[in-house]
Amino acid sequence: MDTQIIRTAISDFIATVTIDRPPVNAMNRQMFDEIQATFDALNHRADVRVASLTGAGKCFCAGADMKARSASFAQQVPHPGAA
């Protein structure tokens, strides 16, 4: 059940979900969607009773990916004087 950013391991009814987006696991839209899809899928599994969310590397999650947010914002907001 691994995705591009999220790794999942299941053992003894425990799902360990690991965020792996180096260098600091900064949250972007793809990561948000993959976490949501992973937990939705785990919700329907009889072999999972507990899910643990963790982060690979130095930190759990640094927060929002500001570079991705600013790029997305720039595409959505018209610049003054733009027709």
Give pLDDT, residue 46.
97
- Taking the CB of residue 51, how many other CB atoms lie within 10 A of it? 16
How many CB atoms lie under 10 A from the CB of residue 21?
Answer: 21
Give me the CATH number covering residue 16. Answer: 3.30.300.220
Structure tokens at 13: 């009814």
Q: What is the pLDDT along the chain (83 residues), one digit of tens a residue?
A: 799 999 999 999 999 999 999 999 999 999 999 999 999 999 999 999 999 999 999 999 999 898 876 666 555 556 566 55
Asked if residue 61 belongs to a domain, the reply is yes
Structural domain harbouring 50: 6-67
Statement: the pTM of the whole predicted model exceeds 0.85: no
Residue 10 φ then ψ, to 5°: -125, 130
The answer to whether residue 58 sits within a structural domain is yes
How many structural domains comprise the chain? 1
Q: Is 27 inside a domain boundary? A: yes
Long-range contacts for 70-76 (Cβ within 8 Å, ≥24 apart)? Answer: 72/29
